[in-house]
């Protein structure tokens, strides 16, 4: 039997647990659907869709946790570089300066610092150790910073000065990114208002108009029953109101999904980080859609 690392065994157990939960939830929901609709095809579709939704939910939840961890490490990385630079100026060796730079307030970066310090203490090349550290963190920004530090080490520069300058440049970059976000904040608000309020209101208005036109055209007598010659003919609308209603809901949810991805790209720099806005936008959109449709229907019914 091949031995697996502890972390890998935990991941395997977690995947098995998620699979069992997904199957149980899907069986419960599909059983209710079968009891209500008495249709096996619909039940199978609901079963498969539920499993996919559970796996997608778990996947995106893990992605959000990973992204949150990376963002936290990126925010405290300049402080770590500054502290390590101070330790090197105090005359410490590189491995000792790294190990003493590991602080509880630097979590979750402290684990990576300790691992890198141990690698260097066990005669691992410093350039390789720093490169492995950036790969474990998984941040593109930190990876580029590490490449800059490694390049400085290869050129024979003072590591303490290099770390201090890198820390300062990272803080300046963070300040510029925050300033840029404040500049695009109005765009974020505009997109949010359009997709969550204005678009659902317009779709509800169009649905009510279709319902009114359908009622009006059904009450108009046919051309055979009238003796008046008309230059044009009016006939009943072939599109059902239920179709326009379902189409509007599907279109609104699609717009909400795309808008959440755009908001994530504008606000956080990554599209997938905007998916956490999707449930909020979707709920607001549906509330606005149905409430506006109800208000307009009641208002127009009193006029006709």
Q: Examine the domain organization and report whether 79 and 64 are in the same domain.
A: no
Within a domain: 292 = yes
- Mean pLDDT, residues 70-94: 89
Percent of the chain at pLDDT > 90 equals 19
Provide the token pair at 153: 């080490």
Distance in angstroms (rounded) separating the CA atoms of residues 198 and 115:
52
Domain boundary among 25, 43, 69: 69
Domain boundary among 8, 37, 69: 69
Please, is 15 exposed, middle or buried when counting C-beta atoms within 10 Å of its C-beta (0-12, 13-18, 19+)? exposed
Closest CA to 60 of 277, 267, 273, 280: 273
Find the Cα–Cα–Cα–Cα dihedral 214, 219, 222, 223, rounded to 10°.
-90
Q: Examine the domain organization and report whether 208 and 281 are in the same domain.
A: yes
Within a domain: 8 = no
Closest CA to 136 of 150, 115, 121: 115
Place of tokens 């991941």: 11
Distance in angstroms (rounded) separating the CA atoms of residues 140 and 69:
13
Average pLDDT value for the chain: 84
- Mean pLDDT, residues 179-183: 79
Confidence band for 228, pLDDT divided at 50, 70 and 90? low
Confidence band for 219, pLDDT divided at 50, 70 and 90? low
Distance in angstroms (rounded) separating the CA atoms of residues 223 and 114:
87
Within a domain: 59 = yes
Q: Examine the domain organization and report whether 251 and 287 are in the same domain.
A: yes
Within a domain: 160 = yes
The total of other beta-carbon atoms located within 10 Å of residue 214's CB is: 16
Q: Give the domain range for residue 26.
A: 16-69
Within a domain: 148 = yes
Q: Number of structural domains, the chain?
A: 3
Within a domain: 267 = yes
What pLDDT, on the 0 to 100 scale, is given for residue 3?
A: 46
Confidence band for 215, pLDDT divided at 50, 70 and 90? confident
Torsions phi, psi for 266 (to 5 deg): -75, -45
Provide the token pair at 69: 């961890």
296 DSSP assignment: H
Q: Examine the domain organization and report whether 154 and 252 are in the same domain.
A: no
Distance in angstroms (rounded) separating the CA atoms of residues 160 and 81:
9
Within a domain: 271 = yes
Instruction: Look at 152 and 252; give whichever has higher pLDDT.
Output: 252
Q: Examine the domain organization and report whether 290 and 192 are in the same domain.
A: yes
């Amino acid at each position: 039997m091949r031995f697996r690392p502890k972390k890998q065994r935990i991941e395997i157990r977690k995947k098995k647990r998620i699979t069992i939960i997904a199957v149980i939830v899907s069986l419960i929901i599909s059983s209710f659907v079968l009891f209500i609709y008495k249709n096996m095809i619909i039940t199978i579709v609901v079963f498969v869709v539920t499993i996919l939704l559970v796996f997608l939910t778990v996947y995106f939840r893990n992605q959000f946790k990973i992204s949150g961890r990376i963002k936290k490490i990126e925010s405290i990385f300049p402080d770590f570089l500054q502290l390590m630079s101070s330790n090197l100026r105090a005359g410490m060796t590189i491995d000792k300066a790294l190990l003493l730079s590991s602080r509880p307030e630097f979590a979750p970066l402290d684990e990576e610092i300790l691992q890198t310090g141990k690698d260097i203490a066990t005669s691992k090349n410093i350039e390789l150790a720093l490169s492995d550290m950036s790969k474990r963190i998984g941040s593109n920004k930190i990876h580029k910073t590490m490449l800059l530090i490694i390049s400085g080490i290869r050129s024979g520069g003072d590591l303490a000065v290099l770390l201090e300058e890198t820390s300062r440049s990272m803080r300046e970059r963070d300040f510029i990114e925050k300033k840029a976000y404040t500049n695009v904040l109005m765009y974020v608000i505009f997109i949010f208002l359009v997709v969550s309020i204005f678009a659902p209101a317009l779709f509800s208005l169009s649905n009510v108009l279709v319902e009114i036109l359908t009622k009006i055209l059904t009450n108009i007598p046919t051309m055979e029953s009238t003796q008046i010659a008309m230059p044009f003919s009016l006939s009943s609308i072939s599109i059902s109101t239920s179709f326009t209603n379902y189409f509007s809901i599907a279109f609104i949810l699609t717009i909400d999904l795309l808008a959440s991805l755009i908001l994530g790209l504008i606000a956080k720099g990554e599209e997938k980080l905007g998916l956490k806005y999707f449930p909020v936008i979707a709920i607001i959109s549906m509330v606005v859609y149905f409430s506006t449709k109800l208000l307009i229907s009641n208002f127009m019914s009193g006029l006709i």
